[in-house]
Amino acid sequence: MSYDFLKIQYENFSPKWDQKQLALAVMRNIEFAAPSDSCVRFDVTKADQGYRGRCRVTSASGVFAAESEATSLEALVVDIEGVIHDQLNSWKATRFRNTSDPSPTLASAS
């Protein structure tokens, strides 16, 4: 059985090999930093003056999303990567925080 946890879709154009490799590498970096049960989807559309892109990371821990426009595919991918990583870093900083008990203690064996 095959699972597709990373999907990249291009609309209105066919990217060059090196552009595909860059987009795939960046999306894999996002997938690696995301919660373990995440699905990553990246959609890119060729527009009149450049590219529009949307990335959505979906997991049980939440949804992380970014949209951007750029004159080059490379700039678009880097911009979206930065936004998603900022969101993931914020999530990582607070994911283990327990508001009812701010100071965790170790259990001792009796």
Q: How confident is the model at residue 96 (pLDDT cuts 50, 70, 90)?
A: confident
Q: What is the pLDDT of residues 13-53, one digit of tens each?
A: 999 999 999 999 999 999 999 999 999 999 999 999 999 99
pLDDT at 20: 95
Kindly list the structural domains of the chain, giving each domain's residue range(s) and its CATH number in brackets, ordered by start: 6-91 (3.30.160.100)
Largest CA distance in the chain: 70
CA separation for the pair 76, 50 (Å, rounded): 9
Strand order in the sheet with 62-70: 6-11, 39-47, 50-59, 62-70
End-to-end CA distance of the chain: 47
pLDDT given for residue 95 in this prediction: 85
Residue 80: pLDDT over 60: yes
pLDDT at 43: 97
